[in-house]
Structure 1
Amino acid sequence: MAASLFLKPLMSVDLCKIINLNFMLVKNMSSVVLPAAVVNPIKYTYDLVVIGGGSGGLAAAKEAASLGAKVAVLDYVTPSPVGTKWGLGGTCVNVGCIPKKLMHQAALLGEAIHDSKSYGWTVGDNVTHDWLTLKDGVQGHIKSVNWVTRVELRDKNVEYINGLGTFVDANTITTVAAKPGKPKEEKILSAKYYLIAVGGRPRYPDIPGAIEYGITSDDIFSLGKAPGKTVIIGAGYIGLECAGFLTGLGYDTTVMVRSVPLRGFDQQMAQTVVDEMKDKGTKFLNECIPTKVEKLDSGKLKVSWTDKEKNTFSDEFDTILFAIGRRALTRELKTELAGIELAGDAEKIVAVNEQTNVPHIYAVGDVLYKKPELTPVAIHAGRLLAKRLFGGSTETMDYQNIATTVFTPLEYGAVGLSEESAVAKYGEDAVEIYHGYYKPTEFFIPGKNFRNCYLKVVSLVGPEQKVLGMHFIGPQAGEVIQGFAVAIKCDLTVPILMNTVGIHPTIAEEFTRIKITKRSGQDPNPASCCS
């Protein structure tokens, strides 16, 4: 029975105990052959150490543990400049996708209340919204997800360490871990593999008063008072989404655009999103750059900016929210001590199939260079990586044709190439653009504006007409584009799309009825709801 002890994993067994046990057994069993693990002790304490407790890191950790690996997850949230911090789960759960979608839904409900009058519902004219009720509801849900995540790790025997991990060298990580009611303790960890999944945090502009008086998406979802009159600096998807729900909740909202909205997206679609937001009441300052933020005696924030002609302007706001991009948190990891190659921006990690230039160190998620910064991408890549490392799989992540949605008042869903990208890649003569406007049935009775409900299909010219990209602006665009993303993965063509019978009356069926090309010059507006 004592001899069977040698058959157990010796990864974390005290070598002194092994030696003592070996001495006792050899004394009584001279024929015992020492296992290789005793002769050559394993030098690492974990099979996998994941640095970062966001969606990608957690997915990899849980998958690896289910495959028998010994796994530890390090996660620590450095408070934002105004002191906001959160629990386990990363950006998406705490300060990203989840709270954003909930506040987007709150704004849609407000619009639906007004629309309901036209459908016969009796609703008072003095409909108001309470910010703190929404904030508390959102934060309550987030905390429940934090708790469930902790329980999942425990149930899968993943060790959770609430500490910031930094590299000592390519084979060692140190962290100062904190446990409730106990002093902080430095821990040294070693692993066969390391996975960097620390994601990113919002940038601040290098102007006076920005850090002192501004907030970011790290703070808006837990803001302890109503935001009031707000200016959002930046017109990427985070900026426009925040502006959309703030306007929908009744707050005076302005977006300051440095160059173009939704950079990286199809620009015709981006401008259509902006047009719809303007119709809903959001104001835009185009080609403007902030220069200074000051706090006035009244408590208001005075924001100064210049336009493209270098003219100077200023206005007073209750809240200034910066949404000018995010930076990868590689600097805090001391990646240089591990010899990890970073891209030219000295932030993003260069990797092939998630493997860095240091063979046993991997990365997933927003820290990767020139990869989509989307939660489902990180999750899928993390799981596939764990299966390759511990399950014998050879399947790698496909980063092409990843669908996404911008949750503005009229949502914008997209998958595949934009019109500009397709033309740049294949040439204008080789690309066909099908497009059309449509009228959602539910818009008719309340008399809602549908002039910005628009979609396009980007395809190759030729008999097969392979679909390269699909773009949709309208209600529930995320739900619509998800299914078509599968079709594109299956090499969808325009003839197949046109020969698909749609479900009537839905907005998703509009893709199956699209037949007008930009090249034809025909009017893309429908004559009726069934045309």
Structure 2
Amino acid sequence: MELDQTDDGANIQDVLLEITNQKTVPNVFVNKVHMGGCDRTFQAHHSGLLQQLLQEGSGFDGFDYDLIVLGGGSGGLSCAQEAAILGKKVMVLDFVVPSPLGTSWGLGGTCVNVGCVPKKLMHQAALLGQALADSRKFGWEYSQQVTHNWETMREAIQDHIGSLNWAYKLSLREKGVAYVNAYGEFVDHHKVKATNRKGQESYYTAANFVIATGERPRYLGIQGDKEYCITSDDLFSLPYCPGKTLVVGASYVALECAGFLAGLGLDVTVMVRSVLLRGFDQEMAEKVGAYMEQHRVKFLRKFVPVAIQQLEKGLPGKLKVVAKSTEGPETIEEVCNTVLLAIGRDSCTKKIGLEKIGVKTDEKSGKIPVDDMEQTNVSHVYAIGDVLEGKLELTPVAIQAGKLLARRLFGGSSEKCDYINVPTTVFTPLEYGCCGLSEEKAIEMFKKENLEVYHTFFWPLEWTVAGRDHNTCYAKIICNKFDNDRVIGFHILGPNAGEVTQGFAVAMKCGLTKQQLDGTIGIHPTCGEVFTSLEITKSSGLEITQKGC
């Protein structure tokens, strides 16, 4: 249609502006999907989307679905629901293979069932215990002995998780997404086999596939690990209090779990092979560990388990762990009730038939390399979430990537997921929030002489009356001196670090500079205001201890 040769061309142009947010021409639609102008149409051609839409319009594709998503975690569900909103026929295949101890769960993936949600709630339970201890200094008087009941907490958390499982199912139903509780495996380029818990097999075809199968905890591969140890897959639904616990690993999962278990009053030891929180800022990681050591968590550094034996049966029973030093011949033995393994996670990509259709994966990790459009080396197969090679393993990242992928595939969008300056928080007893680069990474990328690091300790007002640790909470920003003192790394160790970090992450997306921080008026008295008054640099060597609120 040529608008300048149509009587009501101006009116049509106004309507197009309203529905597409584009007034310029050409304004291209293919099979009822808005492509955009010339540049976006060429992009769709190069990505394969244009050809796909033209094939769909021909009516000869013959597939059961426009999209099948393998994996019912946050990313997979986000992608599936967005595709359904855009009018596509979508199926989700999701099946939880039980852990070695038989634990399984419902729809929603790791975060909802055995990750972020129950972890944060148990962290909150531990914080409430600390609040009880602080409350006496604020005038609260109580004579009754205060104890914690694991079973009550577990039941309440599992009830909440159950409500989320149900909400996900309901949302899929409302959007017309077919949900099948079955294990998906490729058998041909456009065909998958779905096997349910009874072993019954069904087959489905689709024009496009998204792999969102996530990861599962890694085991040690030693005597007794799968027989007697638990992982985060098992902990949050454990029907009994774990008792004296040995946590093996130094990942954020290890330290978070160790932290809330100690906060609930349990005897907890963390066995560390090398460094804490690998991949995070190491100064911050060591401060996290130091605080935990001061608050009832013991650390065994430079040791790895070599055997686990059952001494007594029971709930929780008793175990003996034999561990060897990583620096010499020394061997030690630890006796505990529970061993929690948190040594890393493996991608769930090795038994879903990817080799049958030629999708490349890393031989060692099982991770899937993709381009900046989340497309694998097989044009109609995409991947999002924790299975991606070289990308952040965070639920909000998977959700965003899944949503934007569906919009590119079926909505004519060209927006890509931005994996830069993604904020995150480690929910240890003293929370650690960060966004951008660690100090080590910043030095590697920009060289130390080109950076300025501002830092300080701070004392939350709420901690003063309670007599809590002075000069423990810590704030740090890393600035690029030759880019207008742009903030390229943000780090905070303190209460509610996640809430503080989220706001500053938005500012970093907008190109936050030190000058802009200095020009911002802080909210007093808060922890976040410390970033508006940072003056001392590491290079100055000046003292950073605080004496007031």
- Which residue of 341, 354, 370 corresponds with 1:335? 354
Cα distance in 2 for partners of 1:497, 1:461 equals 15
- Distance, in Å, in 2 between the alignment partners of 1:54 and 1:39 is 33
SS of aligned partner of 2:524: coil
SS in 1 for 2:172: helix
Partner Cα distance (2:110, 2:519) in 1:
41
Instruction: Please state if 1:491 is matched with 2:493.
Output: no
- Structure 1 residue 455 corresponds to structure 2 residue 475: yes
Q: Which amino acid aligns with 1:449?
A: D
- Superposition deviation, residue 37 in structure 1: 8.2
CA spacing shift, 1:306–1:473, aligned 2, 3 Å: same
1:202-232 CA distance string (max 9 Å, x none):
0000110011000000000011110000000
2:158 corresponds to 1:143: no
* Equivalent residue in structure 2 for 1:65, among 76, 84, 91: 84
1:5-49: CA deviation from partner (whole Å, max 9, x where unpaired):
xxxx9xxxxxxxxxxxxxxxxxxxxxxxxxx98986322110000
- For 1:81, the equivalent position in structure 2 comes to 100
Task: Report what 1:161 is aligned to.
Answer: 180
Give 1:188 deviation, angstroms: 1.1
What residue is the counterpart of 1:120 in the other structure? Answer: 139
- Structure 1 letter corresponding to 2:241: A
Cα distance in 2 for residues equivalent to 1:37 and 1:379: 27
Q: Does 1:302 align with 2:305?
A: no
Contact 1:57 1:197 in 2 (8 A): yes
Superposed structure 1 runs of 4+ greater than 4 Å apart: 36-40
Q: CA deviation at 1:189?
A: 1.1
Instruction: Give the corresponding residue for 2:114.
Output: 95
Contact 1:135–1:221 (Cα < 8 Å) also in 2: yes
CA distance in 2 between counterparts of 1:452 and 1:235 reads 21
Distance in 1 (alpha carbons) for counterparts of 2:139 and 2:367: 54
The alignment of Structure 1 onto Structure 2 pairs a total of residues equal to 491
| Residues 410-457 of structure 1: per-residue CA shift (max 9 Å, x gap) | 100000000000001111101111000001000011101133200100
Does 1:394 find its partner at 2:414? Answer: yes
Distance of aligned partners of 1:39 and 1:440 in 2 relative to their CA distance in 1, 3 Å threshold = closer
Specify which of 279, 300, 303 is matched with residue 285 of structure 1: 300
2:264 aligns with one of 249, 257, 277: 249
**Equivalence map 1:368-383=2 (5 Å):** 368-383=388-403
d(CA) in 2 for partners of 1:117 and 1:294? 43
DSSP 3-state at the match of 1:72: strand
Counterpart of 2:47 in structure 1 is none
Answer yes or no: is 1:259 the counterpart of 2:269. no
CA contact (8 A) 2:70 2:213 kept: yes
Residue 220 of structure 2 is aligned to residue 205 of structure 1: yes
- TM (normalized to structure 2)? 0.88
Q: Structure 1, unaligned stretches of length 5 or more?
A: 1-8, 10-35
SS in structure 2 opposite 1:445?
helix
How far apart in 2 are the matches of 1:53 and 1:256? 33
How far did 1:126 drift? 1.9
Tell me, in whole angstroms, the C-alpha distance in 1 between the residues paired with 2:263 and 2:183: 38
CA shift for structure 1 position 264: 0.3
Matches of 2:483 and 2:119, distance apart in 1: 42
In structure 2, C-alpha distance between the alignment counterparts of 1:185 and 1:221, rounded to whole Å: 30
Structure 1 pair 395–301 and aligned structure 2 pair: CA distance change class (3 A): same
For 1:179-194, list aligned pairs within 5 A.
185-194=200-209
Deviation track 1:469-504 (CA, whole Å, cap 9, x = no partner) reads 100000000000000000110000111111111000
**Alpha-carbon shift at residue 170 of structure 1 (Å):** 1.9
Which residue of the partner structure matches residue 6 of structure 1? none
Q: Is the 2:312–2:319 contact (alpha carbons within 8 Å) kept by the matching residues of 1?
A: no
**C-alpha distance after superposition, 1:352-383 (max 9, x if no partner):** 12100001100000000010000000000000
More moved, 38-47 vs 210-219: 38-47
SS of 2:351's equivalent? helix
Aligned to 1:19: none
**2:369 maps to 1:350:** yes
2:302 corresponds to which letter in structure 1? E
Structure 1 distance, partners of 2:110, 2:312, is 34
What CA distance in whole angstroms lies between the structure 2 residues aligned with 1:238 and 1:47?
37
Question: 1:273, 1:452 within 8 Å by CA — same for their partners in 2?
Answer: no
Partner secondary structure for residue 144 of structure 1: helix
User: Per the alignment, in what secondary structure is the counterpart of residue 540 of structure 2?
Assistant: coil
SS at match of 2:539: coil
Task: Give the TM-score taking structure 1 as reference length.
Answer: 0.91
- Kindly state the Cα deviation for residue 123 of structure 1 after the two structures are TM-superposed: 2.4
Q: 1:317 to 1:37 in 2, by over 3 A?
A: closer
% same residue: 51
1:170 match: 189
**Distance change >3 Å, CA 476–CA 39, structure 1 → 2:** closer
1:423 paired with 2:443, answer yes
CA contact (8 A) 1:113 1:123 kept: no
Q: Structure 1 residues 302-311 or 242-251, which shifts more?
A: 302-311
Please, which runs of 5 or more residues in structure 2 have no aligned partner? 1-30, 32-54
Q: 2: distance between equivalents of 1:189 and 1:463? A: 53
1:205 partner letter: L
SS at match of 1:519: helix
Secondary structure at the aligned position of 2:242 is classed as coil
Paired amino acid for 2:101: V
Residue identity in the other structure for 1:252: D
The equivalent of 2:18 in structure 1 is: none
Structure 2 residue identity aligned to 1:223 = L
Change (3 A) 1:192 1:278: same
For structure 1, which segment, 167-176 or 109-118, has the greater mean C-alpha deviation from structure 2 after superposition? 167-176
1:214 and 2:237 correspond: no
Matched residue type, 1:383: K
Is residue 2:331 matched to residue 1:312?
A: yes
Indicate conservation of the 8 Å contact 1:52/1:199, yes or no.
Answer: yes
What is the Cα deviation at residue 344 of structure 1?
A: 4.4
Q: Deviations for 1:247-270, whole angstroms, at most 9, x for unmatched residues?
A: 000000000000000000000000
Counterpart contact for 1:275–1:452, Cα < 8 Å: no
> Secondary structure of the residue that 1:395 maps to in structure 2?
coil
CA distance in 1, matches of 2:135, 2:87: 54
Matches within 5 A, 1:478-517: 478-517=498-537
Assess if the C-alpha contact under 8 Å between 2:346 and 2:365 holds in 1: no
What is the one-letter code of the residue matched to 2:481? V
Check the 8 A contact 1:118/1:446 in 2, yes or no.
yes
Corresponding residue SS for 1:429: helix
